[in-house]
Amino acid sequence: MSAGADPELVRSFDPARLSSAFYADPYPTYAALREHAPVLRCPDGSWFLTRYADLEHIYRSREHFSSDKKAAFGPKYGPESPLYEHHTTSLVFNDPPYHTRVRRQIVGALTPPVVRAMEPGLARLICELLDRIEAKGQFDLIEDFAAAIPVEVIGNLLRIPHADRAPLRAWSLAILGALEPVLSDAQRELGERSVVEFRDYLRELVADRHQHLRDDDLLSRLIREQEGGEWLSEKELLHNCVFLLNAGHETTTNLIGNGVHLLLQHPAELERLRRAPELITTTVEECLRCESPNQLGNRLVTERVEICGVELAPGAYLTLCIGAANRDADEFPEPDRFDIGRTPNRHLAFAAGAHACAGMSVARFEAQMALGRIVQRFPKLRLHGTAVRGGRARFRGFRTLPAAIE
């Protein structure tokens, strides 16, 4: 364990009142929490956990912890609200048997052949984006590159018509934004509206797809299952499709954006990757570890349990800080060093256990292709202008990342 982190950072830490310094660089605070208060009681009564061993244990244990968020989201959104309906119907915020039923169908539709089949389309898309970047000379790595990839990939997986894709990103950002620890009225209102618009759009798409079922898209497969034995109601189908689009979208955008930024900030590692392109696999894992796109998860304690010497009673609400666990020196030697060859690298960026990310092979594949190709194609790629962080604690990424290639 690293020693000497500033205890003052713990005293002033409140997830409901985060400073701009925290959003810019949360890692000194995470180090202080891991060292001085690894299971911290927050002012609102919830608990904030930062050590790798504790998170891994909790993610892998279903005996004492639940993913069901009805009790947390009722007061947050109001039990009649579209945000409540959406988030409490998504598989990720549920326990068995509902979670098992929905997960089986989604995992069954995201098989290795499905991921491999993405390659030609993805290679073409990345090549087109790089051509456009080359023509521009100066560009935004988020808008012009990172964000343009996941929306196409998930759009293709569900076979959403290209002409309909424009609003997907904004809907997704608004719905996920409503998961932040603190929510303004404007954010809440936008989140509610986005759920309604997204759900209504998908309802029409599903009605149309019933007439045009195919073998090669995720939506057709889920509809077939709906018509067969493993029944999903219309509400369940729609909200889990909204969730899939959201789950695969901002997270992967952040992985690609954070990844390019990390490489540009570590020129020796960037050079190492250019000389040995086969390191792209471990590079992406190291980006996932160092700047985890999804920094926070939650669980509810269902049975009395002791974690790190602290007794937690049923009903305790836990925030699991993936971003802190992935920098824990008890698991990762020299945790703050960005090492693109790091092995082993058992990071928790995709969580672990029964709810481990169902789209991790899709995300890895997208990031390997995107990062590998941009760094090989543009030897003079560099940051150019002021990078602006997304300003979110749960999802860590950039709003804009200006860059140039000469």
142 binds ligand HEM, rule: CB under 6 A = no
Q: Which is nearer to ligand HEM, 9 or 255 (CB)?
A: 255
Site residues for ligand HEM, window 61-100 (CB under 6 A)?
67, 91-92
Closest distance to ligand HEM from the beta carbon of 307 (Å): 17
Query: Does position 294 bind ligand HEM by CB under 6 A?
Result: yes
What single-letter amino acid sits at 57? Answer: H
Residue 149 Cβ vs ligand HEM, minimum distance, rounded to whole Å: 10
The whole-angstrom separation of Cα 372 and Cα 83 is 37
**Residue 55 touching ligand HEM (CB under 6 A):** no
Cis peptide before 167 (omega within 30 of 0): no
**Going along 207-365, which residue ranges are E strands?**
296-301, 305-307, 310-312, 317-321
* Sites for ligand HEM among residues 361-390 (CB under 6 A): 362-363
* Residue whose token pair is 């539709």: 109
- Asked if residues 53 and 326 have their Cβ atoms less than 8 Å apart, the reply is no
Q: CB of 6: closest distance to ligand HEM in angstroms?
A: 28
Lookup: tokens for 403: 């860059």
Give the Cα separation of 337 and 341 in Å (integer). 11
Quote the longest CA-to-CA distance of the chain.
64
| Beta strands 47-49 and 317-321, pairing class | parallel
Is 178 a residue that touches ligand HEM (CB under 6 A)? no
Residue 39 binds ligand HEM, judged by CB under 6 A: no
Per CB under 6 A, 284 contacts ligand HEM: no
Residue 323 binds ligand HEM (CB under 6 A): no
Residue written as token pair 């934004």: 177
Among 32, 33, 83, 106, binds ligand HEM (CB under 6 A): 106
Shortest spacing between CB 94 and ligand HEM, in angstroms: 8
CA–CA separation, 265 and 72 (whole Å): 39
Shortest reach from residue 336's CB to ligand HEM, in Å: 20
Q: If binding is defined by CB under 6 A, does position 357 make contact with ligand HEM?
A: yes
Please, is 194 exposed, middle or buried when counting C-beta atoms within 10 Å of its C-beta (0-12, 13-18, 19+)?
buried
Nearer to ligand HEM, 130 or 362 (CB): 362
Q: Report d(CA 69, CA 259) in Å as an integer.
A: 31
Considering beta carbons, is residue 27 or 193 the nearer one to ligand HEM?
A: 27
Least distance from C-beta 275 to ligand HEM, angstroms? 26
Closest residue to ligand HEM, based on beta-carbon distance: 359
CA-based torsion, 10, 12, 18, 22: positive or negative: negative
Q: CA-to-CA distance for 80 and 63, rounded, in angstroms?
A: 30
- Counting contacts by CB under 6 A, is residue 105 touching ligand HEM? no
Question: Measured between alpha carbons, how far is 325 from 55 in angstroms, rounded to an integer?
Answer: 7
Binding mask 237-256 for ligand HEM (x = CB under 6 A): -------x--xx--xx--x-
Judge contact between 59 and 352, C-beta under 8 A.
yes
358 binds ligand HEM (CB under 6 A): yes
**Can you tell me which of 26, 38, 297, 335 binds ligand HEM, judged by CB under 6 A?**
297
Nearest distance from C-beta of residue 367 to ligand HEM, angstroms: 7
Rg (C-alpha) for the chain, rounded Å, is: 21
In the complex, minimum distance from the CB of residue 154 to ligand HEM, in angstroms, rounded to a whole number: 6
The Cα 154–Cα 12 span in angstroms is: 40
Select from 122-130, 229-237, 290-298, 377-385 the region that touches ligand HEM (CB under 6 A): 290-298
**Does residue 293 contact residue 396 with C-beta atoms inside 8 Å?**
yes
Please tell me the number of Cα atoms within 13 Å of 16 on its side-chain side: 8
3-state secondary structure of 277: helix
Position among 15, 181, 293, 372 found at the interface with ligand HEM (CB under 6 A): 293
Does 351 bind ligand HEM (CB under 6 A)? Our answer is: yes
Per-residue DSSP letter, 172? H
By CB under 6 A, name the one of 9, 149, 280, 349 that touches ligand HEM: 349
Minimum distance, C-beta of residue 276 to ligand HEM, in the bound complex (Å): 23
Given the rule CB under 6 A, which residues bind ligand HEM? 67, 91-92, 103, 106, 154, 244, 247-248, 251-252, 255, 293-294, 297, 349-351, 355, 357-359, 362-363
